[in-house]
Amino acid sequence: MATLLRKIGLIRLHNRDTEDPKHHHNNHRAGGGGGGPQSAALRGKGGAKSGGHKPPQQPHPAGGAGDASPGPGKGKGKRAAELAPRDKAPPPPAGAAGAPGAGGPRERAAGARAGPGPAAAAAAAAAGGSLVPAARQQHCAQVRSRRLMKELRDIARLSDRFISVELVDESLFDWNVKLHQVDKDSVLWQDMKETNTEFILLNLTFPDNFPFSPPFMRVLSPRLENGYVLDGGAICMELLTPRGWSSAYTVEAVMRQFAASLVKGQGRICRKAGKSKKSFSRKEAEATFKSLVKTHEKYGWVTPPVSDG
């Protein structure tokens, strides 16, 4: 009896399990159609070996922005993304016309760090170029000083005491020269004896580019007439002009030429009342000299005959 009841219970249990769809569904999920997870893995391996049909893959857009998985065209898309910033136009420089924020404090600071602009560079170049004239000026001053020192030594060694030199205010470039002698057979020499004139005093100022330019020479005293001595004490001699000057001329040679021109031009000491004591003026001498230079440049200088010396 007990055996019969046990068989009836087993039959009912079997019918309940097979008729309950929920129980059947759970068993199907758990078993995976018989075999469970291990059977599914085995079926996957077997399908691969047997060359079963692979599920169709969804097409991937080439280089899709949101696609994280590799696919055809992904490398090209990445390369294009890397090159894209290079193809963009470069931003305008700071401070350029039309640039956003041009002229702001940050851009001005960047411009200051970048260096001076073309105008400032030109000004700096001009300032730097001024060093060349300064060096040249210094060189000319040295040449002039050496030449004049040599001239002073040579004049001091003269045995005939033809001329003597005194520096004006101890300046090497401003001389008072005393002409002690002229031709003793001339009327000028006789005038000097009669008026007790020991010398003819002249002033010589030397320009910055001496000896390549002539000194300015004028008579100070006594007041002379003729002898190529003009108003203010200016002297009409071609060798005292830039056109007739040579750097080989010495002060001694110029003074000897002047002494000869005085005699040749029949120079005399002025003895007229009221005029003889009137001193020569430098300003008048400079104006007269400029005028005569213009006249001779226009009409030429008269060359005396060789017989006249």
Percent of the chain, pLDDT > 90?
41
**Poorest-pLDDT segment among 123-127, 189-193, 212-216:** 123-127
Q: How far apart are CA 203 and CA 275, in angstroms?
A: 21
Assign 35 a pLDDT band (cuts: 50, 70, 90).
very low
What integer pLDDT is reported at residue 245 of this predicted model?
95
For 53, phi and psi rounded to 5 degrees? Answer: -70, 130
How far is Cα 259 from Cα 82, in angstroms, rounded to an integer? 95
Q: Is the pLDDT of residue 149 over 60?
A: yes
Residue from 206, 218, 214, 217 nearest 144 by CA: 206
Whether 153 shows a pLDDT value over 80: the answer reads: yes
- Whether pLDDT at 18 is above 60: no
pLDDT of residue 50: 46
30: left (phi over 0), alpha (psi -120 to 50) or beta: alpha
pLDDT single digits (tens) 219-248: 999 999 999 999 899 999 999 998 899 999
Residue 244's region, left for phi above 0, alpha for psi from -120 to 50, else beta, is alpha
Measured distance CA(208)–CA(144) in Å, rounded: 7
Please give the DSSP secondary-structure letter assigned to residue 201.
E
236 among known catalytic residues: yes
- pLDDT for res 298: 78
- Strand 174-179 and strand 216-221: pairing? unpaired
pLDDT band at 99 (very low <50, low <70, confident <90, very high): very low
pLDDT given at position 90: 53
Mean pLDDT of 152-171: 93
Task: Tell me the C-alpha distance between 301 and 179, whole Å.
Answer: 25
Which residue(s) pair with 175 in the sheet?
167, 204
The residue with greater pLDDT, 121 or 209, is 209
Average confidence (pLDDT) over 22-33: 48
Band of residue 47 on the pLDDT scale cut at 50, 70, 90: very low
pLDDT, averaged across the chain: 72
Is the pLDDT at 59 greater than 60? The verdict is: no
Whether residue 207 is predicted with pLDDT greater than 60 in this model: the reply is: yes
Q: What is the pTM of this model?
A: 0.55
Residue 257, pLDDT above cutoff 60: yes
Q: What share of the chain is helix, strand, coil (3-state, %, to 5)?
A: 50, 10, 40
Return the half-sphere exposure (C-beta side, CA atoms, 13 A cut-off) of residue 304: 10
- Burial class of residue 287 in the structure, from the number of CB atoms within 10 Å of its CB (0-12 exposed, 13-18 middle, 19+ buried): middle
pLDDT band at 177 (very low <50, low <70, confident <90, very high): very high
62 vs 74: CA distance, rounded Å: 6
CB 219 within 8 A of CB 200: yes
Q: Is the pLDDT of residue 46 over 60?
A: no
* pLDDT band, very low/low/confident/very high, at 276 (cuts 50, 70, 90): low
**Which tens digits make up the pLDDT trace of 110-143?**
444 444 455 544 554 444 444 457 888 888 889 9
Q: Which of 188, 234, 236, 251 is catalytic?
A: 236
**R_g (Cα) of the chain, nearest Å:** 59
Query: What percent of the chain lies above the pLDDT cut of 70?
Result: 53
